[in-house]
Amino acid sequence: MANREVKYWVIVASKDHVKRGIADGIAQACHGKAAPLKRMKKGDFVIYYSGKQTFGKPDKCQQFTALGIVIDDETYQFQVSEDFCAARRNIEFSECQDTSILPLINDLDFIQNKKSWGYPFRFGFFEINQHDFNLISSQMLQHHHV
């Protein structure tokens, strides 16, 4: 297990939800579903992408808004409200700056069709390669030395 390859994941969520997750040190994905989170392993990296500023509102964000590392192997259920129970993972987030995707689109491998660059984000959760992770994280961490 020790030499398991690290994976890099993108989770899509509105910026207001991401910032709340950072405050709690947790990740949720795809409206609280457990399956995506179970694919992540301790030591994997996760980047949040926010297409919108606020959940359910049209104002665009189009930024990578959080960067963290999965710190354990537990996926657990959390009662968010009376009628909403969400799967969560514990994440240690890095100090980083929100980074626009727009200047990076041409260099990101996971965006195959540069004209429809928003397409991959429809899935809400997906794996990216190390090149893409390094490109995004280097921008996010530019002014913060980890």
Domain boundaries defined on the chain:
8-140
| Separation CA 59–CA 143 (nearest Å) | 26
- Percent of the chain predicted with pLDDT > 90: 89
Inter-residue contact 48 to 28 (CB < 8 Å)? no
- From the number of C-beta atoms within 10 Å of its C-beta (0-12, 13-18, 19+), residue 98 rates as middle
CATH fold of 8-140 reads ph1033 like fold (3.10.590)
3-state secondary structure at position 34:
helix
**20-to-24, 65, 145 alpha-carbon distances in Å:** 6, 11, 23
Confidence category of residue 143, pLDDT binned at 50, 70, 90:
low
Query: What's the one-letter identity of residue 6?
Result: V
Average pLDDT score over residue span 50-64: 95
Q: Which two tokens stand for residue 41?
A: 């392993």
- pLDDT at residue 31, as a whole number: 86
Tokens 């192997």 identify what position? 73
How far from chain centre, in Å, is Cα 45? Answer: 9
Residue 2 has pLDDT above 80, yes or no: no
